[in-house]
Structure 1
Amino acid sequence: MVKFIVNNYKKYIFVFFIVYLLIFTVFYSETTKPKGDEVHYLIATESIVRDNDIYLENNYPDGVTSMFGYLKLDKHTVIGRGNHEILGHGLTIFPFIIAPFYFAAGKLGASLFFCLITVILFQQTIKFSELVTNSHLTSWVVCPGLFLTLPLSQYSLLLFPEVIAGLLIVYNLCEVITKNKLGILSAILIGLLPWIHFRFLTVSIFFLLFWFSRQFKKITKQFFLPLILIFVYFLSIFLIYGSFDFNKTFMNSGSAYSGNIISNIINLLIDRQYGLIPNNPIFLLVLPGFYFLFRSNKKKALLIIALIFFEIMPFINSNDWHGGFAPPGRYLTAVVPIIIPLIVLSITKSRYFLTKTIFLLGFMWGYFVYIINLLQSPNYGYLYKDGFTPYLNKISIWSNLYFYYLFPSYFPDGKITVLHWIWICTILIISYLVFKKGGKVKTKA
């Protein structure tokens, strides 16, 4: 019996993940109302389904908002060609993607579609991790750990475009590793990335540059497919919005690029509200993973580093680096699947007990944070820029200790403090301990 389970562990893990995700999807969709940008994407979807158009001037005041639990809602629109009100998040086909499922079963139908997307993303992420690390068992252990904790766990339940973009990115990375020529499907998906959200245009450029460098001597016709799709995308922007001006296609774009790059990077990692590590300490193993991958395969390491750079480029200098009113890690959700192999490498290539302990305790902490978020009505993990975090509040109440003082916060003062630098030093020390105990390159998990 034990041997049978061991030999079929992939099947058991995969089935468990599907059932688990399905239960949480139905629970979350039926017990919460959409918030933040999610509700505005749904209003645009409602317009497509009921009015057969993308014009929203009649969708905010006529009772549509009450369908989503709001008597009144601030508009997320800009004025386009013909003085029509259009969704102010840039041109995106995201509402069109979820429209058939919304038409079939409302918000639950759209959420179930996202459940399917997450399952496919899970499968592709494991495939990518196995290709990078050649560690099968560890990949099948680590991937569920990251998909059951923030940010993937929460965004798999929400209607934001990042999960779909993450799937397209991981699929194309698998193609990059396994194929020598750009395929038709891969070319189409590269061209569709900016259609998911304008922020992913830089990722399309990354893949185009990669395939151009690989096939420089013999460019195939597939290479022109994404170029055509991107051209049509910009043409559509002009036809719909009447301009290429960001101020006319995006809300609040005037002050978007007034942030500080260094502060943003630090807070993406360690801010107690929005940072990856306080919400999920498993990410402590990413930096050692970069070291091990670079030591064993420089090309793959540089590939991942370059892609991360291109993905964060559009928002890293923005004062909206945190993703606005949203759960933590929104803009990094599409990146998390491609850094999972780095965590796998930290575990498989280091003999140090510390790495296994960090993963186990990090998973327990991250899952605790996720569950606390789901239980926090009415916001359910959505955060204001006030330094308040539900999980630290609960721990402080239960322990009668003020854990807030152990975790740095950029808000509400907007300053990098001594506590930020203490955390950075701690991360570097932990990474060094993992480096130091790193063993020889392992080819099997």
Structure 2
Amino acid sequence: MKTSWIAVVAGMALGLALAMRSTRRFPVFDRDVDMNASVEPWLLSSIPNLLLVVVFVALGAALGFAAHRSGKASWITPFLPAGLAGAVFVPSLFSVAPFTALFSGRLLDFLLVSATLLWLWRALAPRGLGRHIATTRRIAFLGFCVHLAIGLKMSHDVGLSGDEPHYLLITHSLVHDGDLRVQNNYFQEDYRGFYLGKIGPHLAANTPYSIHGIGLPILLVPGYALAGLTGALVTLALLGAMLWRAIYLAAFLLTGNREASVLASCVFGLTSPALFLSSSAYPELPAAVIVTLVAVRLLRREAETRLLALGWALLVATLPFFHMKFIPLAGLLWGALAYRFQRGRAPVLCGAAVGALALVTFFFVSTGSLDPTASYGRQRIFMSGIPIGLLGLFFDQEFGLLPVSPVYLIGLAGLVPLLRRDFFFGVVSLLALAVIALPGAAHPLWSGGNSPAARFLFPVLPLLAMAASRLWARERLEGVTPWLPTLLAVSLSVSLFSVFLPGQPLYLNARDGTGRLWEALSSSWDLTSYLPSLINADAHSVIFASIALALALLALAAQFRARPVRLPPFVLLLLAAAWARDLTGAQVSRRLEGRWVTELMRGLSESRADAFRAFPSGERLSGGDVKARVSLPLRPFRPDGDPLHWWSLPYHIPAGRYRVSGVALEAFAPCSDRSCFEADGARFESKVALGRFRVRLRRLEDGGPPRLHWDELFDPRPVVNRSLVFPGDQRVHSLDDGAYLDRRGFWVKRGARAAFTLESTTGDELELLNGGSENWVRVETEMDTKRFRLGPWQKKRVRVAIEDGLAAFTVFSEGGFRPSELDPNNPDRRDLGVLLRIPAFDETL
């Protein structure tokens, strides 16, 4: 009976969540409150159709009952948390627990995707699908395909980031100059071939050499020499494939179970950070490969020849050449090899001595000092930072391991029984975690810079994946091991949303205290305020990170129990922690207010909804009431030093009539990306759907920020400036002066970002024809950004998302040419970038 009720309630929760997905929720602040005041926003929600809710809940209940009758109640129970989508409508609940507003919008989608993945696990796992790929070749091939696809997408969407261009520049110097001196390459800007932008030199103190390790650049030489950046990406994907294969082999030696070994490879390779770092030019990837290969050898019991023992020692000796922070790790692995190779200790010690001598010789030749840290010219390790650094490596919302991959909690729990069952390998794994985590935590940049989360922990994550697989193979019903499918589903959802959620790259963060992924999931409430930020290390973040640490330790202690530990109580503890966050009076950040209000504007413009509920008051509002009560604060951007004169940040606002209030104005002008236009006093009109505007003004007196009110929202279809009609009645409209009108299309100006809309019912494809010089081009839509390089006169087709026959997008051309420079007889001296047209219009130039 209990199981049947749980199944029925889970089905009802699923139906309620699907019905609630049709509602729109927007957090907004009272417009009369000072921008710097600590005040909670109120929640504005559209009212769901009651009949729709009843129908969906009834269907869900029937689905749950059917699942119970067929003996598959466990398939539907993962959808229980989705029922929190309706919690905000419980009377007075929002006023005492505002965090309930989180369970809507994209976070609700996140819960539904996680539940669906868990449902797939429970439905398919009994069939033993892992057996079909349980060979080293298939595992390696799968890893290669995954990381090459992710690498190409990252290169296309984002390009290189952080220190990646510096590593690749060393490779470029090796290929083209035949040396490691990169000072001249920085001066010549040789990185322009694979990096969009300008980078400053990273040179060792008083030398022409890079401060970065030479190991990775040397590995990338063959691929880069053959195919440039693409060849480097293929090389990284091959390293990722080697890593998947080695993890599979090590896990099989540890468990004797092929499905658990496949699980180890997937736990590691399909979750963050490995999904992204295995396609990134960072030294942690080859270091992880070496650690895992050594783990495979340590798990083999047979003796080793002296020559191979020397080879293993020399392989470990390459670790410090990838980065000097791996010196303690190399020492640990040498010791482990010497212990395992009873008759090969002398070759191991000899190899270690040769490696140490080669390392100090390299640094003496390149820097004139035997001290490897001399290249930095200053102290880089601070022991006092270890406590905050450790909390950050595991719990920070931007760069912590467990927020993006909670499945590694099972790996950490697996270290305890691993010590009991295989003491030697357990000690090696635990010490490897220590020699990687402690120096990383002591580093002032423990976050790893502009890189995916937990980069500094990456080399030892394969060992945690192996420990998790061993628990699943041997102790599946003990302690916290039954949590593995749920935590893996959540971790995979993080990966999926990080890759496919439109907008900025969500797997990279800016060290600003808020994770980009959690920001993107904050469409109905500020999720980031409930997660610790050890970058900021404020009191609330440290306290909540400490609470998270206590819960993690409690979960690890539970592994000593022979009986399974249920996950729901821990989930309730997390919800209680969120509630405690509300009760402490800690405020939701106002940094997201501008985005929330512009999303509200767009929602009103597109849906024309005219019935809302305001929480916590429960007041019913019409669309007109909302427009009268809500306004957009105009935050300053790059003030010129005069407090009376500034530009606002840019905002995406729909077509409509607007006015500015809150200040006495001397001069006011609304502006698009490229130009400003006239306004009637403090009022202006926008006829561009989702136009990107900012305000330039001069105030008569200093005061608070002005606010933008909308008086009327137009039909979202834009009124445009210039248009071209192409075959198939496809129309392209230019919305600013960033492009020249041409009979074949629109020439985007060199260095300009031009805004367009496409009207079409027959196709969503555009064609970009580059001009006479190599160029970087970026196509931006509200949902996606595509960036690519084009050679002279090269064509490329791109697709844009069309809704109701209309797509809004911008094209940015970094480079360009003058036709008169290519042909002296051509009088055209315009600076042209790239030609935009419809593919069917195939007139030759």
Q: Tell me the TM-score normalized by structure 1.
A: 0.87
Aligned counterpart for 2:492 among listed residues 338, 356, 367? 367
Deviation, 1:215, is 5.5
Change (3 A) 1:292 1:43: same
Change (3 A) 1:428 1:364: same
Bigger mean CA deviation after superposition, 422-431 or 336-345: 422-431
- Spell out the pairing of 1:119-268 with structure 2 (5 A cutoff): 119-178=241-300, 179-181=302-304, 183-214=309-340, 219-245=345-371, 248-250=374-376, 253-257=378-382, 259-268=384-393
Deviation, 1:438, is 4.7
Q: Secondary structure at the match of 2:204?
A: strand
Deviation, 1:257, is 2.2
- Spell out the pairing of 1:43-442 with structure 2 (5 A cutoff): 43-80=169-206, 84-89=207-212, 91-178=213-300, 179-181=302-304, 183-214=309-340, 219-245=345-371, 248-250=374-376, 253-257=378-382, 259-348=384-473, 349-351=475-477, 355-356=481-482, 358-374=483-499, 379=505, 381-397=507-523, 400-413=524-537, 417-438=542-563
Bigger mean CA deviation after superposition, 411-420 or 167-176: 411-420
Aligned residues: 430
1:36 aligns with 162
Q: Work out the CA distance in 2 between the residues paired with 1:143 and 1:369.
A: 17
AA aligned opposite 1:85: P
AA aligned opposite 1:172: V
Deviation, 1:217, is 7.6
Q: Secondary structure at the match of 2:218?
A: helix
Q: Secondary structure at the match of 2:313?
A: helix
Q: Secondary structure at the match of 1:168?
A: helix
Deviation, 1:277, is 0.5
Change (3 A) 1:308 1:352: closer
Q: Work out the CA distance in 1 between the residues paired with 2:373 and 2:346.
A: 37
Q: Work out the CA distance in 2 between the residues paired with 1:299 and 1:332.
A: 21
Q: Secondary structure at the match of 2:459?
A: coil
* Structure possessing the higher relative contact order (Cα contacts under 8 Å, 6 or more residues apart): 1
**Runs (5+) with no aligned partner, structure 1:** 440-445
Alpha-carbon RMSD across the aligned residues, in angstroms, is 2.7
AA aligned opposite 2:492: Y
Deviation, 1:312, is 3.2
1:21 aligns with 147
Q: Work out the CA distance in 2 between the residues paired with 1:198 and 1:139.
A: 32
Deviation, 1:304, is 1.2
AA aligned opposite 1:277: L
Q: Work out the CA distance in 2 between the residues paired with 1:159 and 1:76.
A: 16
Deviation, 1:414, is 5.5
Change (3 A) 1:21 1:68: closer
Q: Identity percentage over the alignment?
A: 19
Deviation, 1:216, is 6.9
Change (3 A) 1:44 1:226: same
Q: Work out the CA distance in 2 between the residues paired with 1:71 and 1:288.
A: 44
Q: What CA deviation, in whole Å up to 9, does each residue of 1:40-79 have, x standing for no partner?
A: 1111111111222211222123232322334421221124
Change (3 A) 1:438 1:327: same
Deviation, 1:125, is 0.8
Change (3 A) 1:116 1:152: same
Change (3 A) 1:152 1:72: same
AA aligned opposite 1:220: A
Q: Tell me the TM-score normalized by structure 2.
A: 0.48
Any conservation in 2 of the 1:256–1:320 contact (CA below 8 Å)? no
Q: Work out the CA distance in 2 between the residues paired with 1:222 and 1:355.
A: 37
Q: Work out the CA distance in 2 between the residues paired with 1:232 and 1:160.
A: 22
Change (3 A) 1:201 1:72: same
Q: Secondary structure at the match of 1:86?
A: coil
2:639 aligns with none
Change (3 A) 1:4 1:260: closer
Q: Secondary structure at the match of 2:484?
A: helix
Bigger mean CA deviation after superposition, 230-239 or 176-185: 176-185
Q: Work out the CA distance in 2 between the residues paired with 1:218 and 1:66.
A: 48
Q: Work out the CA distance in 2 between the residues paired with 1:72 and 1:317.
A: 30
AA aligned opposite 1:108: T
Q: Secondary structure at the match of 1:290?
A: helix
Q: Work out the CA distance in 1 between the residues paired with 2:405 and 2:130.
A: 28
- Spell out the pairing of 1:3-14 with structure 2 (5 A cutoff): 8-11=132-135
Change (3 A) 1:9 1:378: closer
Structure (1 or 2) with the greater helix fraction: 1
Any conservation in 2 of the 1:270–1:423 contact (CA below 8 Å)? yes
Deviation, 1:313, is 4.3
Q: What CA deviation, in whole Å up to 9, does each residue of 1:356-384 have, x standing for no partner?
A: 4x333323332333344345765552222
Q: Secondary structure at the match of 1:200?
A: helix
Any conservation in 2 of the 1:47–1:54 contact (CA below 8 Å)? yes
2:744 aligns with none
Q: Secondary structure at the match of 1:335?
A: helix
Q: What CA deviation, in whole Å up to 9, does each residue of 1:260-305 have, x standing for no partner?
A: 2222222211111111110111012123212222232322221211
Q: Work out the CA distance in 2 between the residues paired with 1:344 and 1:377.
A: 35
Q: Secondary structure at the match of 1:260?
A: helix
Any conservation in 2 of the 1:30–1:108 contact (CA below 8 Å)? no
Q: What CA deviation, in whole Å up to 9, does each residue of 1:85-132 have, x standing for no partner?
A: 21122x433212211211111111011011111111111111111222
Deviation, 1:204, is 1.6
Deviation, 1:408, is 1.1
Q: Once superposed, which parts of structure 1, at least 4 consecutive aligned residues long, lie more than 6 Å away?
A: 2-6
> Rg larger in 1 or in 2?
2
